[in-house]
Copies of this chain bind each other. A is one copy, B any other.
Amino acid sequence: MDRDAYLERLDASTTEPTDLFEHFEQRSVAGRTHHILTAARHGVERGTVVVEETDIIVRGYPSVPRTLVLDPGIPSFFEGDETVTIEEKLDGFNVRIADVGDHLAFTRSGYVCPYTTARARDRLPLADFFADHPDRTICAELIGPETPYTIHEYDDVDSHDFRVFDVRHRETGSPLPVDDRRALCEEYGFSQPQLFGREEPSDAVAAVRDAIADLDVAGREGVVLKSGDGDAMIKYTTASQHHDELAYAFSLPFDHGRDFVFSRIVRDAFQAAELDDDDRIRERAQDLGESILTPMVSTIRDVADSETVGERHTVRGDPDSIDALFDHLHDQSMTIELKSDRLEDGERVVEFVKVAESTRDRIQYYLAGGTRQE
């Protein structure tokens, strides 16, 4: 491939192709060569993909900064006269769906998930959309209790579904303005995240506080605030999300605990300092502690009882895409234990566990009296 030309099309902040391309990894997908940027480098987002044969670039989704305080976090982030839209942030699996010859669903890291691809083709009118907008990327969250990645329950989603939260230019990554994007999604019948309102930055503080209070009670994740043109984005999350993530991380402490714990505590503490009275802080703290300790003790006891520990998931779809999913998970060096495998209304339904080997092995070692050298 012509690296100099791609470097220019990617608008990278280096003029030396090797600086960027040494961080690309090569995969073969559906007979084409994907070059995948595995980490953000030189102004190019992680998960950016170059498809060699079709000469297509799919730009990675940018990382969304987080504010720890609503005030002055929101008014200091946005321009004073800007209109800020407040939309729900969903707890699911973030994919970009693009036409690169085929309609494929790319994970945040730039890999193609065959299962999400198959579900997207099944659930979303991709053919119609890409016929009209070939150079757009649909940015969607795969949500619901039956996905191979996340299990957060939403009232209106029995198995799994997509919510389209962004539509961007495939190559430049430039977003559609929020209102245009919402109208476009409506036109194609894409489900979207809830819109909480459009406010000036200073008024957005109270609006977000109210939205977060409601979302917290409902056990939902949080909000993303965007400038009208969709370019500036900031996120803020609920206490229940922080605690859910800690509970997940500490159910598999030696796989996720160390990475998760500090950042979630930081979020929770700043939120408490801004929003809570003393009674609520104590309640939040106790809840935080239970989120951390209870799942970990339960996992230690499971290991002691020789039960499998790991992430439990259920997936549902056509038999071929389920096979492709397990190939994909095995490619990522995951150890999978099948719990059940059945047909329901022509669909294959599989329950499985992604075995958390580090957690299992470390807990076994300590339970056998292994010592920690500190």
- The residues of A with any CB-CB pair to B shorter than 8 Å are 63-69, 72-77, 234, 250, 253, 257-258, 261-263, 265-266, 268-270, 272-273, 276, 281-282, 284-294, 296-297, 300-301, 304, 366-374
Contact = CB atoms under 8 A, between A and B. Distances in A.
Contacts of A291: 289
Nearest to A40: B373
A266 B286 CA distance: 18
A53 B30 CA distance: 73
Contacts of A76: 368-369
Contacts of A276: 297
B285 A290 contact: yes
Contacts of A263: 372, 374
A366 B273 CA distance: 12
Contacts of A300: 269-270, 273
Contacts of A73: 369, 371
B281 A288 contact: no
Contacts of A369: 67, 69, 72-77
Of A75, A253, A287, A372, chain B has the most CB atoms within 10 Å of the CB of A372
B285 A266 contact: no
The 10 A-B pairs at the shortest CB distance, nearest first, are namely A289-B289, A76-B369, A65-B371, A285-B293, A286-B286, A273-B300, A288-B289, A269-B296, A73-B369, A285-B289
A220 B273 CA distance: 30
